[in-house]
Amino acid sequence: MAIDQVNLDIQPGEFFAMLGPSGSGKTTCLRLIAGFEKPTFGSVHIFGERSDGVPPYRRNVNTVFQDYALFPHLSVLDNVAYGLMIAGEEKSTRSKAADEMLELVSLGGFGHRKPSQLSGGQRQRVALARALINKPKVLLLDEPLGALDLKLREEMQEELKLLQRRLGLTFVFVTHDQSEALSMADRVAVFNEGRVMQVDTPESIYKYPNSTFVANFVGASNIVPAEFVSALTGKACPASLRPEFIQIGYGDGYSATVADINFMGAARRVTVDLEECRLRVLLGVDQEAPRIGDQVKVSWAPENLHLMEQNSGNR
């Protein structure tokens, strides 16, 4: 996917996420930083040094891929030490450094095993250790948790964030999973069709999306049509209203009919039809739920109705 006039400034020591659907341009952007792709115009600077034309092996970055790319015939220790071997380090030096890296990722004592003898999460840790052993200034992670099951993926999210804080390295993380980006990153760039739609902290992007695309892609949101917003606020633009910010009851508010109720474990999602639009409401399981067909009232605090101007991405 080609990218269109993307302009990003990633800070030293930052955990920066590139979030977007498949084909949105986030991996292309990562490959430009790594040196696997060349920009047709513009430039890439890494810690102030222009990197255009610098081959990947000479850039002070390393990449962790989704498929781990471990050598099946080598031991875990030799996989981790591979980068130092290519750099010409003596065997004793690289073995010691590899042992230290394995300890860092909680795999001390696993050096003699082959990758096939490890779980998916353990192989992911080996790939991380191998990428870190050359002490890069920037670690690039291309959907590294995509092949893991949900529980293991959540555990690895916590471990990655703790590791990043401990090392103080710049992490650039590509994902299509909004929960990964929101829970791990210091800042998030939301991509769509080759453009960056918004760059901000996870909380700001969630609370204050600048477009209907961002509001819909980052978390569940109700897009309130411009006509209804105009009647409410006098401003004719669409607005984002998160389901958890809506109250439902039988007192004051806007009249609505309950169209559907879905049990979601920790919450219930209630779909209601107003005359002007359909809204989804999120209720805690300890809250009294209406029944399908009930006539109810819905309300929200004015500050939770976030007005949006249509945005085509940064230029």
Q: What is the CATH number of the domain that holds 279?
A: 2.40.50.140
238 and 209 in a common domain: no
Show which of 171, 188, 214 is a domain's final residue.
214
Rounded CA separation 86/236 (Å): 61
pLDDT at res. 312: 46
Residues 255 and 302 in one domain: yes
- The total number of structural domains that make up the chain: 2
Query: Is 208 a domain residue?
Result: yes
Share above pLDDT 70 across residues of the chain, in percent, rounded to a whole number? 97
Does residue 8 belong to any structural domain of this protein?
no
pLDDT value of position 315: 39
User: Domain for residue 106, yes or no?
Assistant: yes
At residue 26, the pLDDT reads 93
Question: Which range of residues forms the domain containing residue 206?
Answer: 15-214
- How sure is the predictor about 1, in pLDDT bands with cuts at 50, 70 and 90? low
Taking only the tens place, the pLDDT of each residue in 125-145 is 898 899 999 889 999 999 888
For 302, which DSSP code? Answer: G
Domain boundary among 191, 214, 237: 214
Residue 283 has what pLDDT? 94
- Is the domain of 247 the same as that of 133? no
Residue 60 shares a structural domain with residue 177: yes
Residue 176 has pLDDT above 60, yes or no: yes
Return the percentage of the chain with pLDDT > 90, whole number: 63
Mean pLDDT of 29-50: 90
The pLDDT, as a whole number, for residue 65 is 83
Res 247: pLDDT: 94
- Same-domain status, 54 and 180: yes
- Looking at the fold, whether 188 and 252 belong to one and the same domain comes out as no
User: Do 251 and 195 lie in a common domain?
Assistant: no
Going by the DSSP 8-state scheme, the letter that residue 118 receives in this structure is S
Alpha helices in the chain (DSSP H): 26-34, 76-86, 91-104, 120-132, 150-167, 178-184, 202-207, 212-217, 226-233
Q: Rounded CA gap, 239 and 250, in Å?
A: 24
Q: Is residue 41 pLDDT above 60, yes or no?
A: yes
CA distances from 207 to 71, 204, 242 (A): 44, 5, 8
3 found inside a domain: no
Q: Which of 177, 170, 136 is nearest to 156 (CA)?
A: 177
Q: Is residue 4 part of a domain?
A: no
Instruction: Count CB atoms within 10 A of the CB of residue 59.
Output: 19
Does pLDDT of 187 surpass 60? Answer: yes
pLDDT reading at 151 higher than 90 = no
* Residues 186 and 231 both lie in one domain: no
Q: Is residue 10 part of a domain?
A: no
**Which pLDDT does position 189 carry in this prediction?**
97
**Is 42 within the bounds of a domain?**
yes
Burial of 92 (0-12, 13-18, 19+ CB in 10 A): exposed
The predicted pLDDT at position 233 comes to 92
Cα 134 to chain centroid distance, Å, stands at 25
The CATH number assigned to the domain holding 29 equals 3.40.50.300
CA distance 92 to 104: 19
Average pLDDT over residues 175-183: 91
Residues 173 and 67 grouped into a single domain: yes
Read off the pLDDT of residues 250-291 as tens digits, 9 standing for 90 and up.
888 999 999 999 999 889 999 999 999 999 999 998 888 899
- The one-character DSSP state at 218 is S
Higher per-residue confidence, 147 vs 38: 38
Whether residue 149 is contained in a domain is answered as yes
> Quick one: 39 and 175 in the same domain?
yes
Provide the pLDDT for residue 311: 53
Q: Are residues 67 and 155 in the same domain?
A: yes
Answer with the one of 193, 214, 235 that is the final residue of a domain.
214
Residues 68, 42 share a domain: yes
Give the tokens for residue 13: 């020591």
